[in-house]
């Protein structure tokens, strides 16, 4: 029987930006959340955060292997989450409050409602 040294890559093969969330599970530890390749785009991650799919998100990292870059985008994500909550006139979900405080804290830009 022939053996192969080939190992499948976990890196996406298309030229796309991937977003991964580091989550804190308390006593059992911290981990990068597992996700389908189709579920690692920006909009899906933001919707997942707003829907409470993460226990206690710590940070969000974006990377694009085709373009050879990676970046911590936690502050940008936190601002977008807060913006969406403000536009809907709702408080951010409690699971996101520490994330928002950690990444934008008192630097939050308030959205004024026009009457």
Report the distance separating Cα 78 and Cα 83, nearest Å.
9
Distance, in Å, from the CA atom of 61 to the CA atom of 112, rounded to the nearest integer, reads: 30
Structural domain includes residue 24: yes
For residue 2, tell me if it sits in a domain: no
Cβ atoms of residues 20 and 73 within 8 Å: no
- In a domain, residue 95? The reply is yes
Beta strands in the chain (DSSP E): 18-24, 30-32, 57-64, 69-72
- Cβ pair 22, 58 in contact under 8 A: yes
60 domain residue, yes or no: yes
Domain that holds residue 92: 18-105
Give the pLDDT of the chain (115 residues) as one tens digit per residue: 555 565 555 555 567 899 999 999 999 999 999 888 888 999 999 999 999 999 999 999 999 989 999 999 999 999 999 999 999 999 999 999 999 999 998 665 555 555 5
Hey, which residues does 32 pair with through a beta bridge?
Answer: 22
The whole model's pTM is what? 0.78
Q: What's the rounded Cα separation, in Å, for the pair 108 and 114?
A: 19
Is there a domain that residue 115 lies in?
no
Residue 5 lies in a domain: no
| 63 falls within a domain | yes
Domain count, the chain: 1
38 with 12: CB under 8 angstroms? no
Q: What is the pLDDT of residue 112?
A: 56
Q: What span, in angstroms and rounded, lies between the C-alpha atoms of 48 and 63?
A: 18
Whether 99 is covered by a domain: the verdict is yes
């Amino acid at each position: 029987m022939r053996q192969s040294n080939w190992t499948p890559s976990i890196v996406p093969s298309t030229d796309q930006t991937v977003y991964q969330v580091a989550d804190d599970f308390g006593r059992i530890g911290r981990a990068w959340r597992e996700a389908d390749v189709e579920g690692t785009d920006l909009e899906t991650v933001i919707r997942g955060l707003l829907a409470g799919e993460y226990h206690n998100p710590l940070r969000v990292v974006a990377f694009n292997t085709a373009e050879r870059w990676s970046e911590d985008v936690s502050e940008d994500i936190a601002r977008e989450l807060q913006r969406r909550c403000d536009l809907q006139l709702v408080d951010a979900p409690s699971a996101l409050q520490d994330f928002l405080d950690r990444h934008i804290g008192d630097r939050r830009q308030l959205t004024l409602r026009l009457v």
